[in-house]
Amino acid sequence: MGYIGTFGTATTAPEHHCNTFGTPSWSGKHEDDFTSVLEQELREFIKREAKRYGNNDRVQNIVGENQNFFNEHFLSGWPHALWLEYYQLGMEERASLNMPSFDEVWPSMPI
C-alpha cells in the first residue's frame, strides 16, 4: 500500500492519500472546518492507520518516525493522543509476535 502526505500543523489536519483508501475527507482541512462526522472519520482512520504505522515502523527499525502524525495542539490534542495510543499498540503487537529469525527459517546455502 503506497501513501503520500504531510504531517499536520497546530491548525490543520495532515494531508494523506493512499492508493487503497484514497484521500480522506478530512485531509488537509483546517480545524474550524471539522464537523462531528469528520471527527468520527478521523477517529476511525487513526485506529486503523496508527497501528499499521507503529507496526511497520518497528519492523523497519524506524520507531518514532511517524509518531507525530498529528500536531499536539490540533483539535485540542485528542488526535495526537489517540494516534500515540494506537501507534504504541501497533509496535507492541509486532513485538509480541515470537517470530523466528530469518536464519532459522531460511538457512544459508553454500556457494
Q: Which pLDDT does position 63 carry in this prediction?
A: 87
Distance of CA 103 to the CA centre of its chain: 30
pLDDT digit string (tens) for 68-93?
A: 889 999 999 999 999 999 999 998 87
Q: Which pLDDT does position 86 carry in this prediction?
A: 95
| pLDDT(99) > 80 | no
pLDDT digit string (tens) for 19-61?
A: 888 899 999 999 999 999 999 999 999 999 999 999 888 888 8
Of the candidates 31, 2, 6, the one whose C-alpha atom is nearest the C-alpha of residue 16 is: 6
DSSP secondary structure, 39-85, as one string? HHHHHHHHHHHHHHHHHHHHHTT-TTTTTTSS-TTGGGGHHHHHHHH
Q: Which pLDDT does position 41 carry in this prediction?
A: 96
Of the candidates 83, 63, 65, the one whose C-alpha atom is nearest the C-alpha of residue 13 is: 83
**H or E element, residue 5:** strand 3-6
